[in-house]
């Protein structure tokens, strides 16, 4: 998959983090929609494991971003759409440091609440609810980043 054309745009600094979040939002919402439709029991098991890892590391702001991105990557994998999966991988690979900078315990707690809502919707195969909660989750992050 050739999406290297995105790399120069994604190797951006903290001042452009809002653009990363906006780009990520569009990918995450689509991935979540298709995951709600396509996820099988193995996918749901993996997503749940990543959710529990997020919960267990909620107070560790240094390691939490890794678990958070693993949760989101598991959702992308459940979408079974290679372009969405690879797009999120590019974000992880090239934007991890910038994304990690905005994490704090409060945002991790709010994220955990959204993660549980998203997981519950995925488990029910409800794409409307799943995408609603993912959109709210991404917009909450974007608002917090924009407020800083």
Radius of gyration of the chain, Cα coordinates, nearest whole angstrom: 14
pTM value is 0.88
For residue range 72-111, list pLDDT tens digits in order.
999 999 999 999 999 898 888 777 777 777 778 888 889 9
Distance separating alpha carbons of residues 130 and 54, to the nearest angstrom:
18
Percent helix, percent strand, percent coil in the chain, to nearest 5: 85, 0, 15
CA-wise closest residue to 9 among 101, 90, 112: 90
Percent of the chain with pLDDT over 90: 57
For residue range 1-30, list pLDDT tens digits in order.
445 555 555 555 555 777 888 888 999 999
Locus of tokens 């996820």: 39
- CA 78 to chain CA centroid, Å, is 13
């Amino acid at each position: 998959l050739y999406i290297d054309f995105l790399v120069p745009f994604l190797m951006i600094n903290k001042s452009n983090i809002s653009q990363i979040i906006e780009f990520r939002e569009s990918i995450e919402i689509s991935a979540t929609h298709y995951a709600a439709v396509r996820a099988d029991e193995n996918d749901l098991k993996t997503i749940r494991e990543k959710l529990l890892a997020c919960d267990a590391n909620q107070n560790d702001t240094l390691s939490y971003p890794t678990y958070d991105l693993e949760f989101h990557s598991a959702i992308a994998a459940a979408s079974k759409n290679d372009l969405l999966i690879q797009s999120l991988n590019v974000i992880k690979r090239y934007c991890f440091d910038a994304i990690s900078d905005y994490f704090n315990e409060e945002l991790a707690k709010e994220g955990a609440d959204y993660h549980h809502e998203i997981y519950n919707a995925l488990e029910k195969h409800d794409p409307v609810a799943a995408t609603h909660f993912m959109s709210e989750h991404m917009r909450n992050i974007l608002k917090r980043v924009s407020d800083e």
